[in-house]
Amino acid sequence: MGFRTAKRKAQAYLENREKAAALLRKASEKATQKKAALEGVWEDLMALFRLLKAWIGGDYQGVSWQTILLVLTAVLYFVVPLDVIPDFIAMLGFFDDAAIIAYVVHAIKEELDAFLKWEVERETKRIDSNES
C-alpha cells in the first residue's frame, strides 16, 4: 500500500475514534515486537502514538484534523503489511515505514512540538497537584 492509498483509508479512522483506537492498539503491539528495527524512529513513533491517543481520548484539542489525518496515515502504513518494502525483509523491511514516520513528523513539526509541550505542562501540573 502506498502513502496515498493509506491516506485515503485513514480518513475512515479520522471519522471513527473507536476504529482509530483499535488501529493504535495494533500499531503499539507491532512496534513493541519490532522495537529494535525501529530504533532510529522509535521516539518519534511513540510521540505520534501519544498524540493520537490524546486525540482519541479527547484529552488534547490543540490539533488540526489535517495533522491527525497524517498521523493516522503513518500509523496505518506502519500496521498494514502491504507496504513498498515488506517488513519481513531483514534490515530493509522497516525502511519505508521509518521514512513515512520521518516525513509525517517533519510535516507536523509545529503541532507535534505544541503537543509535546502540552504533555510536559500537563505532567508538571499533575505532579504539583499531587504534592499539594
Exposed / middle / buried, residue 118 (Cβ in 10 Å: 0-12, 13-18, 19+) = middle
Q: How far apart are CA 79 and CA 112, in angstroms?
A: 21
Which residue stretches of the chain are H helix? 3-14, 17-33, 42-56, 65-79, 95-107, 109-131
Residue 73's nearest CA partner among 52, 88, 94, 93 is: 52
Q: In the chain, what are the domain boundaries?
A: 3-131
Rounded average pLDDT over 105-132: 91
pLDDT tens-digit map of 1-32: 677 888 899 999 999 999 999 999 999 999 99
What is the predicted pLDDT for the residue at 34?
Answer: 86
The amino acid at residue 100 is I
Residue 23's nearest CA partner among 35, 6, 36, 38 is: 6
Residue 48's nearest CA partner among 103, 122, 128, 93 is: 103
pLDDT tens-digit map of 53-107: 999 999 999 999 999 999 999 999 889 865 444 544 445 556 788 888 999 999 9
What is the predicted pLDDT for the residue at 1?
Answer: 61
Considering only residues 108 and 39, tell me which one the structure prediction assigns the higher pLDDT: 108
Q: How far apart are CA 123 and CA 84, in angstroms?
A: 39
